[in-house]
A and B are shown apart, each in its own frame.
Chain A
Amino acid sequence: MRKLLILGAGTGGTIMANKMRKKLSRDEWMITIVDQDKTHYYQPGFLFIPFGFYKKEDIIKPTQVFVPDDVTSVYQQIERIDAENNKVMLVNGEVLTYDILIIATGTKINPEETPGLKGDLWHKNIFDFYTIEGAEALSGFFKNWQGGNLVIDIADNPIKCPVAPLEFAFYADYFFTVRGIRDKVNITYVTPMSGAFTKPKASKALGTLLEKKNISLITDFFLGEVDNKNKKILDFGGREVAFDCLVSIPLHSGDQAISKSGLGDEFGFAKADKNTLQSSVHSNIFVIGDAGNYPSSKAGSVAHFQADTLEKNILNFIDKKPLPESFDGHSNCYIETGFGKGILIDFNYVTEPLPGLYPLPVLGPFSLLKESRLNHYGKLFFKWMYWNLLLKGRRLPVTSHMSMAGKRQD
């Protein structure tokens, strides 16, 4: 009996468990999936928790529900991967062996890395919304807040879901307008990038939207430290921004087990080929989703598109064939802009987000890089798609490689 071992039962790991179980014979292959958490979080939902639009119970389900019956689940923390000997050590001392390993351990925030960020004001005036604890604490804070300087700051890239901080800013504008205190809330968006977004067309469209919504933009700001006493954030060059409420997107890193095992870069992201998704260190290890050091977005849609490539490449690897399948960096995200509207962007390693219609030319129905009501409903409906189709590895009505159909290059 050969063994496929999957580390991480988040978006990427769960999709791969479902896909590979359908493809690999039960007589020949045993599949095991390891995760420390028995709860699966619908992570795009974190954004809405601070504003009271979703509660925790709206975005969680048991991890086990999405794991196929004949895949073994192990709920334990991973200690280390011994790639030389095809073994994974768990924190409880258990050792799992494998023929093929899929790393899907994701990424997490590391507020401890920035001096002062996790200081006296953490979860009092300084919040994150990338954890359930942070999102819920912020929800409590917003309930009674009477206004002041709301600063949204990205410490440095890479971060999970690069558009989430922008969505937060747009949604905050909407939320405080509805509450009738928008005139008492100054919203400032602070980013290490040179604009609202890196790529020119999207940066311009999103920058214009920030301006329209009266949200100040401070660029090229790399967070150096947080001064809790004077409620200020400082960049490494000494520039300061004062806050009453800081919504921080802290530095991100990969799982500790990856760096400990010599499989990752200095931030703990597993080193792998951005096209084949095969580890650069060991040929029988593959990497999916946020856990990789890929120059693609760290987002569920990326893991989903990667899964199609990875499935084929693992099957080729088993048959001792070359790995011709190539992931193109395809990413696709709804950007909630408030007031019942949203934007959709679709891009890859080489093509920046462009205007047009998605997934079909003329028919759309979703408009790219432009606000529409339907995009907002697309975002809300995506939660259903995520639970019912995406995690189970079912086909979605979109192509896994980015398509130019419907896009305009003017």
Chain B
Amino acid sequence: MAQKTYAGVTVDVNEEGYFTDPSQWTIEIAVEIAKEEGIVLTDKHFAIMEFLRNRHNSGEALSIRSINHSGVIDVKTFYQLFPGAPLKKATKIAGIPKPASCV
């Protein structure tokens, strides 16, 4: 298993850089991962990441579609906040595994 150091804290990640233990995540760490992705985090980013983390913790699958039901932002805004591949980027910054939506 690989490790990475963010904000002075060493965390466990997989080969793609996704957290394997979401409990190691902190806000300071998120800010640093976001920097790597070229994103400056705002309150909106944190609000949607909180939704994603809660959903992950309750064992529910994450999907782009679930964003529209989050009550936080719609999918178009999600794309603006995390350009390109929003779900992959957002989960990485939020310290949760990459969603394996299929199977």
Q: Which residues of A contact B (CB under 8 A)?
A: 156-158, 162, 192-194, 197-199, 220, 222, 224, 236-237, 251, 265-267, 274, 293, 295-297, 331, 347
Contact = CB atoms under 8 A, between A and B. Distances in A.
B59 A267 contact: no
A222 to B, nearest CB: 4
11 contacts: A156-B63, A162-B103, A192-B64, A198-B100, A198-B102, A220-B88, A224-B76, A237-B83, A265-B60, A267-B65, A293-B60
Contacts of A236: 64, 75-76, 78-79
Contacts of B69: 266-267
Interface string B12-55: 00000000000000000000000000000000000000000000
A167 to B, nearest CB: 14
B1 interface: no
Nearest to A271: B60
Contacts of A156: 63-65, 101
B76 A198 contact: no
A349 to B, nearest CB: 9
A199 B79 contact: no
A237 B84 contact: yes
Given A156-B64, A157-B63, A236-B76, A296 B103 contact: yes
Contacts of A224: 75-76
A121 to B, nearest CB: 23
A10 B100 CA distance: 27
Interface string B80-102: 00011110100000000000111
Given A224-B75, A237-B84, A199 B63 contact: no
Contacts of B64: 156, 192, 222, 236
B61 interface: yes
Contacts of A293: 60-61
Contacts of B101: 156-158, 192-193, 198
Contacts of B78: 236
B66 interface: yes
A293 B76 CA distance: 25
Contact of A297 (B59, B60, B75, B103): B103
Interface of B: 59-61, 63-66, 69, 75-76, 78-79, 83-86, 88, 100-103
A157 B83 contact: no
A194 B88 contact: yes
A237 B66 contact: no
A236 B63 CA distance: 13
B102 A197 contact: yes
Nearest to A274: B59
A220 to B, nearest CB: 5
A266 B102 contact: no
Nearest to A191: B102
A194 to B, nearest CB: 7
Contact of A295 (B61, B65, B83, B88): B61
Contacts of A331: 103
Contacts of B86: 237
A57 to B, nearest CB: 32
Contacts of A251: 65
Given A156-B64, A224-B75, 8 more contacts: A157-B101, A162-B103, A192-B64, A198-B103, A236-B79, A251-B65, A274-B59, A295-B61
B102 A157 contact: yes
A297 B59 CA distance: 16
A194 B89 CA distance: 13
Contacts of A347: 103
A265 B66 CA distance: 10
A65 B75 CA distance: 45
A184 to B, nearest CB: 31
B34 to A, nearest CB: 18
A361 B73 CA distance: 51
Contact of A222 (B61, B75, B83, B103): B75
Contacts of B85: 194, 220
Which 7 pairs show the lowest CB-CB distances between chains A and B?
A157-B101, A266-B69, A198-B102, A222-B64, A237-B79, A162-B102, A236-B75
Contacts of A193: 101-102
Contacts of A162: 102-103
B15 to A, nearest CB: 10
A251 B61 CA distance: 15
A265 B85 CA distance: 24
Given A224-B75, A236-B76, A236-B78, A266 B103 contact: no
Contacts of B61: 157-158, 293, 295
A165 to B, nearest CB: 10
B97 to A, nearest CB: 12
